[in-house]
Amino acid sequence: MRAARRRPQTTSRRRSNGEGSRRNCSPKAAGAEAETLAREAVELVARTDFLRSHADALLDLGEVLALGDEPQQAAEAFRAGLELYEQKGDTVMAGRARSRLDATGSA
């Protein structure tokens, strides 16, 4: 007879400022945190030679900005990602980036 596996207990993640778990923060605070993390990701990957990863991070940033009702900034991120995909020759992802750019109305 097999013993039932116990799930490890998880502790709630705490913000560095000690304000509580991520699940309890306001949508506005969560959006600001998402934008900060997305911008950090773009900065980190921009230091590398990985163009596709850089473009992916720019599209992620664009998504966060679009969800945060920042269409102009989102368009800039999508446009920059599109340029990197085109430079890399990745036509599929360039098409996706172009589609997201068009959806901002700032093409």
**What's the CATH code of the domain at 59?**
1.25.40
In a domain? residue 2: no
Domain limits at 63?
24-104
In a domain? residue 10: no
In a domain? residue 15: no
Count how many domains the chain has: 1
In a domain? residue 64: yes
pTM of the model: 0.73
CA 44 from chain center: how many Å?
13
The tens digit of pLDDT for each residue in 28-85 reads 677 788 999 999 999 999 999 999 999 999 999 999 999 998 999 999 999 999 999 9
In a domain? residue 9: no
Q: What letters, b where the CB count within 10 A reaches 16 and e where it falls short, cover 69-88?
A: ebeebbbbbbbbbbebbeee
